[in-house]
Amino acid sequence: MAQDFYQLLGVSRGASQEELKRAYRKLARELHPDANPNNAEAEEKFKLVSRAYEVLSDEETRARYDQFGEADCDGSGAAAGTKATSCAECNGTGQVRRMRQSILGQMVTTTPCGRCRGMGEVIASPCNKCRGEGRVTKDQTHEIDIPAGIAAGQTMRVSGRGGVGPRGGAAGDLYVHIEVARHEMYQREENDLVTNVQVSIAQAALGVDLVLATLDGDETLVVAPGVQHGHEYVLKGRGVPYLNQGGRNRGRTRGDLRARIEVVVPKKLSSKERDLLLQLAKERGEQVAASDTSLKSKIKSAFS
């Protein structure tokens, strides 16, 4: 006798979609094949619970289930009231043996049966819904937990979430290829996070306290007076978590955060700003380009 889907999930018939989802997640965690290796009973119940949630999570199939119960061929591929019969071509083995004579003697080859496609059974009256396959194509949405520290190009395997085999065959696995979106502020170098921090000439010379956004909240970055372009401030252990802490990463939980100083030189100056910089250059005995704009124009035209 078929089990009631609501009882399988442990909810009432009036349960909301949120209640169904919570109940399914709890049972799926308990019964998942990864948590119960070599436990056929748990694997079978996991399939039943997944099937129950698949039907009840969709409003249309839930309404049909509430009215008629679960109707299809239960994965057999045979129409209601019928069943598959043993293949006469291969006597139910799913294989045929052929013998041929060669100069080396008799040779026997074994190949899948062409009549039953290696199943060992044939269906005289196939199910209208699945056309004898015992499975139908349907889009499904699965929620998966992405571990902290995963990188672009890595692949996650989700057991039992792939397509099912024909006529009640076990489900395969789902492979999820990871792509990590770019961040507007940080670039990732292995498990380090790197960002460019722009400071003006005055800030580089005199020092400045800046607010730096990190994974753990805002951090005050103290830029020392006289900092040079390209200097890096390193915040230890404030980067991306390590997925694998073996080998050279043993004992380390996260990478570092590196704030790289970028001294920005203004492209345009006001007259007052120019005078101040000329005064600074004079004070330091530094040679600078001529400030006569007409002279600069002549020099520019000479090289154009």
| Rounded mean pLDDT, 181-192 | 91
Predicted confidence at residue 164, as pLDDT, reads: 75
What is the per-residue pLDDT across 18-72, written as a single tens digit (0 to 9) for each? 999 999 999 888 888 888 888 888 888 888 888 888 888 888 777 766 654 555 7
Query: In CATH, what number does 187-265 get?
Result: 2.60.260.20
Structure confidence at residue 203 (pLDDT): 92
What is the chain's Cα-based Rg?
35
pLDDT of residue 79 exceeding 50, the answer is: yes
CATH 2.60.260.20 boundaries in the chain: 187-265
As a whole number, mean pLDDT of residues 80-98 equals 83
pLDDT category of residue 105 using cuts at 50, 70 and 90: confident
The whole-number pLDDT of residue 1 equals 42
Task: Look at residue 153 and tell me whether its pLDDT is greater than 50.
Answer: yes
Give the pLDDT confidence score for residue 166 in this predicted structure: 75
pLDDT at 69: 55
Query: How is 150-210 classified by DSSP, letter by letter?
Result: --TT-EEEETT-SPEETTTEEE--EEEE--PPPPSS-EEETTEEEEEEEEEHHHHHH-EEE
Band (pLDDT 50/70/90 cuts) for residue 13 is: confident
Lowest mean pLDDT segment, chosen from 142-151, 255-264, 284-293, 294-303: 294-303
Residues of the chain with CATH 1.10.287.110: 5-68
- Over the chain, what is the mean pLDDT? 83
- Over residues 212-239, the pLDDT tens digits come to 999 899 999 999 999 999 999 999 999 9
Q: Residues 44, 49, 50, 56: what is their CA dihedral angle, to the nearest 10 degrees?
A: 150
Predicted TM-score (pTM) of this structure: 0.56
Residue 295 has pLDDT above 60, yes or no: no
Q: What is the pLDDT of residues 246-288, one digit of tens each?
A: 555 566 789 999 999 999 999 999 999 999 989 888 988 888 8
**Count of C-beta atoms within a 10 Å radius of residue 203:** 19
Q: Please state which CATH class domain 5-68 belongs to.
A: mainly alpha
Please give the torsion angle defined by the CA atoms of residues 27, 179, 194 and 200, in that order, rounded to the nearest 10 degrees: -120
Residue 226: the pLDDT is 93
Q: Is the pLDDT of residue 148 over 80?
A: yes
Q: What's the pLDDT tens digit per position in 195-209?
A: 999 999 999 999 999
Rounded CA separation 109/96 (Å) = 8
Long-range contacts of 151-157 (CB under 8 A, 24+ apart): 151/178, 151/180, 151/188, 152/178, 152/179, 152/180, 153/177, 153/178, 154/178
Q: Is the pLDDT of residue 113 over 60?
A: yes
